[in-house]
Amino acid sequence: MKYIVITGGVMSGLGKGITAASVGQILKNKGYDVTAIKIDPYINIDAGTMNPFQHGEVYILKDGAEVDLDLGHYERFLDTELTSEHNITTGKIYRSVIEKERRGDYLGSTVQIIPHVTNEIKERIRDVAAKSEADICLIEIGGTVGDIESMPFLEAVRQMHGEESEENLVFIHVTLVPLSLLGEQKTKPTQHSVKAFRELGLSPDIIVGRCKEPLSQETKSKISLFCDVPVEAVISAHDAEDIYLVPLLLEEEGLGDFLMKKLHLTPLESRMEWRQMVERMSSLQRKVRVAIVGKYTHLEDAYLSIKEALKHAGIDLSCAIDITWIEAEDLEVGGTQCLDGVDGILVPGGFGVRGTEGKICAIKYARENDVPFLGLCFGMQLAVIEFARNVVGWKDANSSELGETKHPVIDLLPEQLGVEDMGGTMRLGNYEASLKKGSLAHKTYGTTKIVERHRHRYEVNPRYIEQIEAKGMIFSGRNKDRMEIAEIPSHRFFFASQFHPEFTSRPERPSPPFRAFVKAMLG
């Protein structure tokens, strides 16, 4: 097994995740099977309880794991499916070590960071790599060198470096190369970051410099001299118009060739699908404007997978996507005039009462004005509530999650009631749904059986289904008593899903609901 460890210096948010995903895409294009592990040094067990304002979106894997959004980059760039084992956190490691200590697995030893915690980290990395049956395993260590939380993980990979042969483990260090006020590329932050890296007993094999403009040859030579890496191993990762251009940019910088040499590998083939997809992106012929009505719209990373799924559909249909971000609460006070002229309206998921009425206003606008509508998760539940209020006539219809109501059209199913563990009632990960023949859902997917990823707790209340369907909204996707898809056949395009189709969308294989939504916007 070959390992590539990606670390970061100077500051967080430099793009280690995109760099790691791009490295994987480069290696995949050369014919190798690649898997990826994201190490998050926070003490949380997973990302499920984190505020999107602080952490961006919570990405859901097929087994229901709630993880960092970088794993979404891995799945999209590598066109693969990962599991909870591919996300290692301090919380997971310490919980496992403590459980082993309580069971007596350490035979009375004093349990310490070295060797017990570092052994646990190495064991998990190697287990995931072995189970994947891949040729190469990417390991991204979150945070920056020097963070106290990262120390056990950096020590673990230092030990792995001594245990593996030299050609089996490569370190890529991502640093910032800022510009001075006079526009000069400054290498001191990189030098200090590499110095801190070396103080931990680690040496980078490759330095990826994040910068606004391409690194000059003079800058590369200076980094090479001061950081003791070959000039060919100093890679410019300058700003790109789109993240899907990054693998091609890094390949042009020679990263793929240097990795092949460093890992003692030879290219097995030369795949061109990614390059062809990027070329299609550069020749999009049309444009549609979609309004995304949410509660975290000033932090676009909170809806990262939705943005990417729209982009995937646009590439497939030769159409650029112009997103208008609308804060749901603004609709509650300012009205829906901001929706005039949009080609489609998308209401994403989200927990809690804030912004709910604004989202309902947007759904009503879409329904009454025959504007293509896509609702996701909570967006589907609110579509049912809006229909129940304004078409069926239950003016107080609501979700029991949001307060007392005479008509809880969204509620917990009987088997969920009385369960105190919040995770115990959450539906997470892959679930199957059966689609009604001849429905929009059936036409969209081209099949009557689908599997999609979920992250929700409340459901459409089965008591109200017959009355709602009698008024014109049908539930065309079901999993027993659970309603998976709602649609309005008389509408041009009104599709809402309890699941999150954005998590299974890929650049070369767009999500069917997103593709159908964009196609409807094109008219």
pLDDT-based confidence at residue 385 (cuts at 50, 70, 90)? very high
Q: Give pLDDT, residue 52.
A: 76
pLDDT at residue 423 tops 60: no
Q: What DSSP letter does each residue of 299-346 carry, written as one string?
A: SGGGGHHHHHHHHHHHHHTTEEEEEEEEEHHHHHHH-SGGGTT-SEEE
Task: Average the pLDDT over 497-505 and give the result.
Answer: 98
Q: Give pLDDT, residue 299.
A: 85
The distance of Cα 495 from the centroid of its chain, to the nearest Å, equals 23
152: region left, alpha or beta (phi > 0 left; psi from -120 to 50 alpha): alpha
Q: Say how many Å lie between the first and final Cα of the chain, rounded.
A: 50
pLDDT-based confidence at residue 285 (cuts at 50, 70, 90)? confident
What integer best gives the mean pLDDT of the chain? 94
pLDDT at residue 104 tops 50: yes
Helix (H) or strand (E) holding 208: strand 206-211
Q: Give pLDDT, residue 300.
A: 80
- Choose which CATH entry (2.60.40.1730, 3.40.50.720, 3.40.50.300, 3.40.1670.10) describes domain 2-277: 3.40.50.300
* Token pair for 155: 């020590």
Q: Give pLDDT, residue 509.
A: 95
Task: Average the pLDDT over 503-520 and give the result.
Answer: 97
> Among 9-18, 184-193, 378-387, 451-460, which stretch is predicted with the lowest mean pLDDT?
9-18
Q: Where are the domains of the chain?
A: 2-277, 284-522
pLDDT at residue 371 tops 90: yes
Q: Give pLDDT, residue 12.
A: 80
pLDDT tens, position by position, 39-72: 999 999 998 888 776 778 999 999 999 999 999 9
pLDDT-based confidence at residue 417 (cuts at 50, 70, 90)? low
Q: Give pLDDT, residue 415.
A: 61
Task: Average the pLDDT over 255-265 and give the result.
Answer: 97
Q: Are strands 169-176 and 136-141 parallel, antiparallel or unpaired?
A: unpaired
Measured distance CA(282)–CA(84) in Å, rounded? 35
pLDDT at residue 203 tops 50: yes
Task: Average the pLDDT over 164-179 and give the result.
Answer: 96
pLDDT at residue 424 tops 60: no
Tokens 């609901």, located at residue = 513
Give the predicted TM-score (pTM) of the model.
0.94
> Among 7-11, 118-122, 484-488, which stretch is predicted with the lowest mean pLDDT?
7-11
Catalytic residues: 377, 500, 502
Q: For the chain, what percent of residues have pLDDT higher than 90?
A: 87
Q: Are strands 373-376 and 398-399 parallel, antiparallel or unpaired?
A: unpaired
- Cβ-in-10-Å burial (0-12, 13-18, 19+) of 178 comes to middle
Residues 6+ away with beta carbon under 8 Å from 237: 15, 19, 174, 208, 209, 210, 211, 246, 249, 250, 253
Q: Are strands 408-411 and 373-376 parallel, antiparallel or unpaired?
A: unpaired
Bigger pLDDT: 472 or 403? 472
pLDDT-based confidence at residue 420 (cuts at 50, 70, 90)? very low
Domain 284-522 has CATH 3.40.50.360: no
Q: Give pLDDT, residue 248.
A: 97
Q: Can you list the positions of beta strands (E) in 232-318?
A: 234-238, 286-294
Angle at 120 (CA atoms; ends 114, 121), nearest 5 degrees: 90
pLDDT tens, position by position, 208-253: 999 999 999 999 999 999 999 999 999 999 999 999 999 999 999 9
Task: Average the pLDDT over 112-132 and give the result.
Answer: 97
The distance of Cα 11 from the centroid of its chain, to the nearest Å, equals 21
Give the chain's length. 523
